[in-house]
Amino acid sequence: MVFAAPNEALARAEELLGADPSPLHASIAHQVVGIWQRDFGDTRRALAHLRRARDLAARADSAEREADVLATLGVALVHSGRTREGLAAFEQGVARGTGHTRARVLYRRAYVWWVLGRHGEALEDVRRAIPVLRQADDVIWTARALTLRATVHLALGAVERADADFTAAEALWDTTGQEHDKADAVESRGLAAFRSGDVPAALRLLDEAEERYAKLGTPTFMLTIRRCEVLMAAGLATEALTEADGAIAALDGIGGQSTRKAELLLVAARAARLAGDPQTALARAAVAVRLFAGQRRTWYETHARLVLIEARVATGRGSGRLVADAAAVAERLAAFGAPAAPEASLLAGRIALGLGWTADAERHLAVAARSRHSGPPLARMTGWAAQALRAGSARGVLEACRRGLDVLDDHRMTLGASELRARATAQGAELAALAQRASLVSGGPRRLLVWSERWRATVLAAPPTRPPADPALLSGMTAFREIAARAEEARTDGGRPVPALEREQRRLEREIRSRTLHMRGEAPGDGDRFDVGRLLRRLGDDVRLVELAVLDGRVHVLLCGQGRVRRFEAGLLADAEREAEHVQAGLRRLAHPGAEARLPLVEAAGARLQELLLGPAAAHLGSGPVVVVPPARLHRVPWALLPVLRERVLSVSPSASSWLRAKETAPPLGGRQVLVRGPGLASGGAEVPELADRYGAVSRTPDGEEAWATRGTRPATPEDDEETPAAREVRPAGPDGGEKTPAAREATPAGPGGDEEAPETREARPTEPDGDAGRREVPTVLEGDAARVPRVLRELDGAALAHIAAHGTFRADSPLFSSLRMADGPLIVHDFERLDRSPYRIILSCCDTARFASVGADELLGLVTALLPLGTAGVVACSAPVNDAAVVPLMLALHKGLDAGLSLAEALRDARAALPDDAVHQATGWAFSAFGAA
């Protein structure tokens, strides 16, 4: 019962002990309490109960009972760090037990061998135990033994053998009521999915196991260790560090297992190293090494030493001693059959290269390179990185880098969530940098451009997987929106946060994010490789594309146009980043009247930025339009502030490939336009009514009544209720038989006030004559209570132009929860990812909508980058806080240009020129950028 219903078993055992049982029964009760304390509580109490159970078994003169307790005691001793005593208890247990009991003792000793990292002994003991357990028809213990054998196979990299054992064990568990063991089986399947390279499945299974454990009320330290491993592989190292440190604190609080603490410290050290915090990695790894050594766990100790050496190298140390240490670790890991052995050989080779020890480097790198043809994706990438470092020619370097990045591409596309795809690219940063250096030396500007594009903004190369029609996810998003709206209302009314609402909001965020990370990728890979010739043909003779590549901290300008690519050296990236922060601070101040004196300072900073980012290339831009492709770390630069770009048609793109796709994206038929006005704007979104009046749009008043503008309007007719294909909803099956497309899928609360529109309130879309195109739809305005997220999404889906005036909030801590404030709460990036096709052009006339989080190798996560893979060819958005009132004339002038047939970049250039010549309006114009090519 202690593994089926742990807490109930504990209560029953304590009840039995209070009833003056016989020595035999008391031995069983003390053993149950000891198991509970060992696995879920205080190991010191566990040892006391188990020793009492052993003594009572001896008093009962039952050798079988004594052998069984000795096995449980042996596990507890090893977990408390007393390895020698624990193994001695097992020797006694094996000697005292016979037949079926001895098989159970052997299984538990096999488990201890696995804990100690002695996998050969573990396989031998479990091999002896399984036939006896099967012969005794002991379903529960046979399933446990199969699960253990599978886990050992995974540690040795034998994934197929592990899968077979997990499958057999799961079939046995289905015939039992062992809920804790069933949860453990789900956890084990998650580990197997991870080892086979299926990160989304691993996250899903581990989350399912966590839910099962939660119902049993038991701690999950081993699950935390495994989840942290998966998070690190997914590029979420900071989260892994937070989880590991939290588990260590919880384990210390209950006096838990010393072995688990050491494993958690190892995981925390690895996470800190991957998160770019080598000092924390050093501290955690050093303690882990000491604990593992004291516990006689050489396998784990060797892995901890590997992390310790990596952390020392990351702090800038490099010495012959470290080469020797890394080589020794590699040899020990190889002797253990550990999959991490190539990683250690690669580390030794890297350090030797840095010291100029080419012969030693070649020897270690050659060993690491053997892993490039087999194993999971990250192991193969390790091999290709080693091959690239040892290649004797630029051609060899580039071929190894290409093969390694192809492996990562295939792995990345198994991930459905755009966040995971973006973060996973960090694994390829070294290969991309090696290729760029080789291109710079031998290939000329064109080759450097190709490799700059090869690993830039790759998350935009394919649309993210659509969020599933998961009722729990949909209801969670609806609940999140409601709670977020209530929390915002409370802050607005009372000026103080409401802790209960904010806690619930954070819980719902975690739930939504967790479920989206479970999505598997739909595309096998991106076959559309970047073609320099195609780019140059599209640019023609007038347009210049400026791609900024960063090599070893310096900005290199790749100027494309007039059929050629030229390279110029500019300044240091670190200097440019600092200057960009100063500019952002200046723009924030200029958003408020009275800061006019700062305008010359901001303009001077713009001139310094130009020198750092463009250098001599600024004199070769010609007179035509310019497309700027910055690296992710420069995404906040207000490019229109640079003197040479101020009066130009200027657009920004995350990559040249992204610009090409936008350029070749056809606008949707019908030219449908949507104007949205959210609540709480200082200006009231004043441009929206004026635009509605200009276009003769269909509007809704706050009470939901239709208000018809006067230009070219007519009464609604039945035909007007027919929705365009782009916006048609496919509603979830229900009593009304309707269905709903991914664009507008929402879980809708039952009863009044739900988000679902009644059929009679659907808005008709009148059209007006157009001399060139026949009939053109009059724009729809959503404001007041009509500007609710489900309705807004439905109207945005497939629109030709959308203008959204709403409060924007950028979330640096969780960029996919960056939002626009609607009547019923935040419209988040996850919502936009549900669109079948995002608007062809979208104008976001609010603060911070062009802010992004820089993640992975060179990726951006934010609102704009969520739209670009979904069909949006052009966005106008803002990278800084702006003056709401000054935005209105800018937006009106922008739409005037669009009405005249200009592109977004052309219209924005003219709109800036039309603004009043004061500091507030100038800063407002500089803060907005046009992204894409529409």
DSSP symbol at 450: H
Distance of CA 477 to the CA centre of its chain: 18
CA distance 223 to 864: 36
- In three-state secondary structure terms, 591 is coil
d(CA 49, CA 11): 15
Work out the angle at residue 686's Cα, subtended by the Cα atoms of residues 684 and 689, and round it to the nearest 5 degrees.
115
Residues 6+ apart with CB under 8 A from 428: 381, 404, 405, 408, 455, 857
Nearest to 267 by CA among 327, 317, 223: 223
Tell me, letter by letter, the H, E, C secondary structure of 346-359.
HHHHHHHHHCCCHH
Per-residue tokens: 428: 């390829």
Collapse the DSSP code of 226 into the 3-class scheme (helix H, G, I; strand E, B; otherwise coil) and give the result: helix
Burial class (CB in 10 A: 0-12, 13-18, 19+), 896: middle
Nearest to 796 by CA among 843, 735, 848, 731: 843
Tens of pLDDT, residues 773-832: 334 567 899 998 999 999 999 999 999 999 999 888 888 778 888 888 999 999 988 888
Question: How does residue 636 score in pLDDT terms, banded at 50, 70 and 90?
Answer: confident
Neighbours of 636 (CB within 10 A): 18
Beta carbons of 849 and 808 less than 8 angstroms apart = yes
pLDDT at 317: 76
Q: How far is CA 324 from CA 191, 207, 353, 490, in A?
A: 33, 41, 13, 61
Cα 138 from chain centroid?
43
Q: What is the pLDDT of residue 244?
A: 95
What is the maximum alpha-carbon separation in the chain? 103
Query: How far is 850 from 79, CA to CA, in rounded Å?
Result: 51
- Assign 907 a pLDDT band (cuts: 50, 70, 90): very high
Between CA 831 and CA 824 the distance in angstroms is 13
- pLDDT at 463 (0 to 100): 65
Mean local confidence (pLDDT), 214-232: 89
Question: How far apart are alpha carbons 813 and 861 in whole angstroms?
Answer: 11
Q: What is the pLDDT of residues 260-317, one digit of tens each?
A: 999 999 999 999 999 989 999 999 999 999 999 999 899 999 999 999 999 999 988 7
Structure tokens at 417: 């969530």
Between 459 and 52, where is the model more confident?
A: 52
Give pLDDT tens digits for 679-695. Answer: 877 777 788 888 888 87
Q: Give the C-alpha separation, 825 to 863, whole Å.
A: 16
Over residues 893-900, the mean pLDDT reads: 94
Contact in structure between 588 and 880 (CB atoms under 8 Å)? yes
Residue range 516-566, pLDDT digits in tens: 887 777 655 555 678 999 999 999 999 999 999 999 899 999 999 999 999
Pair 880, 925: CB distance under 8 Å: no
What is the predicted pLDDT for the residue at 4?
Answer: 79
- Average pLDDT in the 567-592 region? 92
Q: Which two tokens stand for residue 444?
A: 């000329």
Distance, first Cα to last Cα, the chain: 66
In the three-class reduction of DSSP (H, G, I as helix; E, B as strand; rest coil), residue 855 is classed as: strand
Token pair for 149: 């054998």
Helices 471-494 and 499-517, packing angle to 10 deg: 150
User: How large a percentage of the chain has pLDDT more than 70?
Assistant: 88
CA 794 – CA 834 distance, rounded (Å): 10
Name the phi and psi angles at 772, rounded to 5: -95, -35
86: nearest Cα among 110, 102, 70, 103: 70
Give the mean pLDDT of the chain: 85
Mean predicted confidence (pLDDT) in 449-463: 77
Coil vs helix vs strand at 238: helix
Distances (CA, A) of 44 to 15, 93, 333, 636, 790: 21, 21, 33, 55, 56
Task: Report pTM.
Answer: 0.78
Beta bridge partners of 821: 826
What radius of gyration do the chain's Cα atoms show? 32
Q: Is 134 exposed, middle or buried (0-12, 13-18, 19+ CB in 10 A)?
A: middle
Residue 134 has pLDDT above 80, yes or no: yes
Identify the band that residue 413 occupies on the pLDDT scale cut at 50, 70 and 90: confident
Does the pLDDT at position 328 exceed 90? yes
Burial class of residue 177, CB neighbours in 10 A (0-12, 13-18, 19+): exposed
Strand partners, 673: 801
Tell me the mean pLDDT in the region 841-846: 90
Spatial contact of 873 and 860, defined as CB atoms under 8 Å apart: no
Question: What distance in Å separates the CA atoms of residue 427 and residue 405, rounded to the nearest whole number?
Answer: 9
Helix 394-412 and helix 377-390, axial crossing angle in degrees, nearest 10: 170
pLDDT band for position 642 (cuts 50, 70, 90): very high
Is pLDDT above 60 for 581?
A: yes
Cα distance between residue 385 and residue 391, in whole Å:
10
Question: Each residue of 706-761: pLDDT tens digit?
Answer: 544 433 333 333 333 333 333 333 333 333 333 333 333 333 333 333 343 433 33
Contact 806, 846 (CB under 8 A): yes
Residue 329 vs residues 343, 636, 933: alpha-carbon distances, Å = 10, 43, 52
Are 911 and 930 contacting, i.e. CB atoms less than 8 angstroms apart? no
Strands 626-629 and 650-652: parallel
% helix, strand, coil for the chain, step of 5: 60, 10, 30
- Residue 545: its H or E element: strand 544-551
Q: For residues 875 and 845, is the Cβ–Cβ distance under 8 A? A: no
Whole-angstrom distance, CA of residue 11 vs CA of residue 627:
70
For 784, phi then psi, to 5°, come to 60, -140
Q: One-letter amino acid identity for 362?
A: E
Does residue 726 sit in helix, strand or coil?
coil
**Residue 506 neighbours by CB under 8 Å, 6+ apart:** none
